[in-house]
A and B are shown apart, each in its own frame.
Chain A
Amino acid sequence: MEDKKIKILYLDDEVSNLNAFKASFRRDFQIYTAINSEQAFKLIQEHKPEIIFSDQRMPEMTGVEFFNVVRLIYPEAIRILITAFTDVKDLIEAINKGNIYRYIGKPWNEGEIRQSILNGHEMLKTRRRLEEKVLELERTNEELNRFIYSASHDLRAPLMSVLGLVKVAELEEGIDSKSLTFFSMIESSINRLDIFIQNIIEYYQNSRSISEIRIIDFEPLIQAILENLRYYGNNKSIHFEIEISGEQEFISDEFRLRIILSNLISNAIKYQKDQEGSKKVTIKVTKTQDHAEIVISDNGIGILEEHLKNIFKMFFRADVEKSGSGIGLYIVKEALEKLDGSIDVNSKRNLGTSFQINIPSSK
C-alpha cells in the first residue's frame, strides 16, 4: 500500500470543492476529480478507483442517481455520498438499497474524509480476501468431486471384470456345488460394492447442475432400473408390481428421477426378509395436472420407528446386519431437493416400508 496509493475519485460540479479536496489529500492518496458524470465514468473506466466520492446536488443528476449506475458497472468500488442534510429521504433509500457505503455531511472536514477512506479501503481489502477464499474453496470442492468421480470410474471397470470372470467360472464344466456357493457369495459382494460406487457417482452428478428435463415415460424408466438391478440382492425371488396411471404429461429431470427411483427400489429389494415367502415390491405412479406421486412399497423387514427420523442423514444405517453405506437415502433427499419434491415414509417393523414421493411437473 505504501508504494501503491489508494485511488480515489471525487465528483462535484463545483471546481472550488474539487480543488480543495485535491489539495487536502493528494499527498496520501491518488486523487482523480471530475466535474460531471461523463468525466467521472471515463475516469472510472481508465483508473478503477477504489473509493468514489460524489456530491449529492448536481445539475445533471444527483449523487444517488450517479451511484445507482456506478453500482451496476463497477460494483467493487466503495461509494460515499457527500451531502447537506436536506436530502434525507433519497439518502436513506440509497443506503438501504446498498448503493452507498456511507455518507458525509457537508461541509466536510478532512479528518472525517480521511477516516472514511481508510475504513472503506479496509472493507474493500476484506471483501477481496473473502472472494479469493470463496474461489479457492470452490476450486478445492470441484477438484475433490472430480477426484471422487474418476476414482469411482476406475474402481468400477476392474470390478466389472471380476464379476464377469466369476460368471465365466460358474459356467465352467465340472464345477462343484461348494465352489458355486462361494462364487455366488463373491458375486453378491461385488454387486453391493458396485451399488455403492454407483451411488458415489450419482452423488457427484447430483451435486453438479447436470439435468435432463424432458417428458417422463415412467414404464421404460422403471424397467431400465429393474434391469440394472437384476443381480442385486434376491431380486429373482421378488415379485414386482408396476402401476402407472394418469394421462397428463409429466415433465421433470429424468437424471435425478432415475437416481431417486433406483435408490428407493434397490432399498426395497435389499430390505426384504431373509426367509422364504411372497416377497413383493410395488411401484405406483400417479400423474396429475401438475405433479406426480410415486409410492414405492415393500413387504420387507421395515424400519424401527426410532430410526425413521434419521434415515435421510448421510451415512446413517438403521440396520447393522444389512450391509449398506448409508448414502442412498441421503442422495435421494438431495436429488428431491433439486426437483422441489417431497418425501414421506411409513414403516412397520416386519410388515414393510412405503415411501411416498411428490414431485411437481416442471412446466
Chain B
Amino acid sequence: MDVAQLHFMLIDDNKIDLFLHQKLLSISKIGNEFTTYNSAEMALIMLDKNSNEAERLPDIILLDIQMPHMNGFDFLDAFAVLEGKLAKRIIIYTLSSTADSKDTNRMKNHPLIARALKKPLEVSILIQEVKNRTSH
C-alpha cells in the first residue's frame, strides 16, 4: 500500500492537536485524505453511516485516549461492535500523552490497538509501522 494514498481519521478533543497531526502527516507526505473529529461520538456516527461504503472509510484511525464524555477506550468498545459490518479493515493507533501506567498497560494489551503511539506524533515511527503492517 502506498502510504501517500492513505485515508486518515483523526480523533482528538483538542483542536490544536488535530491541526498539528494533520499538518505533520501532510508535511511528511503520508496520507492524502484526512477526516478530523473532536469527539469520539461524532467519529462513530460517521463510521456507522458509511459502514458499507469502503471508499468513505478511513484506512487508519489515530485515536486520542483522554477525552471528555467518551474516551478512547469507550470508542474502542463501540468500535468492536461496529467492526463486523464495516466494508473495510481499519487499523487503529492510539496517540496519547498519558503517563498513567494503567492506561499504558491497557493500550498495550488491547486487541484493537495496533500500536500505542505517544504525543507528539513521531511520523517516522508511524510510517514504519504502517509499512510493516500493510506489506503482509
Residue numbers of A with Cβ under 8 A of B are 152-153, 156-161, 163-165, 167-168, 171, 197-198, 201-202, 205, 210, 212, 228, 255
Contact = CB atoms under 8 A, between A and B. Distances in A.
Nearest to A210: B101
Nearest to A149: B100
Most buried by B among A153, A164, A201, A210: A164
Contacts of B119: 157, 160-161, 163-164
Given A157-B66, A212-B105, A164 B99 contact: no
A164 B120 contact: yes
B11 to A, nearest CB: 15
A160 B121 CA distance: 9
Given A168-B27, A205-B101, A212-B101, A153 B16 contact: no
B20 A156 contact: no
A163 B97 CA distance: 11
B27 A210 contact: no
Interface in B80-116: 97-102, 105
A228 B122 CA distance: 12
Contact of A164 (B24, B101, B102): B24
Nearest to B121: A164
Interface in B1-51: 14, 16-17, 20-21, 23-24, 27
A158 B17 CA distance: 9
29 contacts: A153-B66, A153-B99, A156-B99, A157-B97, A157-B119, A160-B97, A160-B119, A160-B120, A161-B14, A161-B16, A161-B119, A163-B119, A164-B119, A164-B120, A164-B121, A167-B120, A168-B23, A168-B27, A171-B24, A171-B27, A198-B99, A201-B99, A201-B100, A202-B99, A205-B100, A210-B102, A212-B101, A228-B118, A255-B101
Nearest to B20: A164
Nearest to B119: A160
The 3 closest A-B pairs by CB, nearest first: A164-B120, A160-B119, A160-B97
A251 B53 CA distance: 50
Interface string B114-136: 00001111000000000000000
B108 to A, nearest CB: 10
A222 B42 CA distance: 39
Given A157-B66, A168-B23, A168-B27, A163 B99 contact: no
A158 to B, nearest CB: 8
Contacts of A167: 24, 120
Contacts of B97: 156-157, 159-160
A165 B21 CA distance: 9
Given A152-B99, A201-B99, A210-B101, A163 B120 contact: yes
A100 B41 CA distance: 63
A158 B20 CA distance: 12
A325 to B, nearest CB: 16
A242 B102 CA distance: 28
A197 B105 CA distance: 20
A324 to B, nearest CB: 18
A153 B98 contact: yes
B34 to A, nearest CB: 15
Contacts of B17: 161, 164
Contacts of B121: 164
Given A157-B14, A164-B121, A212-B105, A197 B20 contact: no
A212 B100 CA distance: 13
A180 to B, nearest CB: 16
Given A157-B66, A157-B97, 12 more contacts: A153-B66, A156-B97, A156-B99, A157-B119, A160-B120, A161-B16, A164-B121, A165-B16, A168-B23, A171-B24, A202-B99, A228-B118
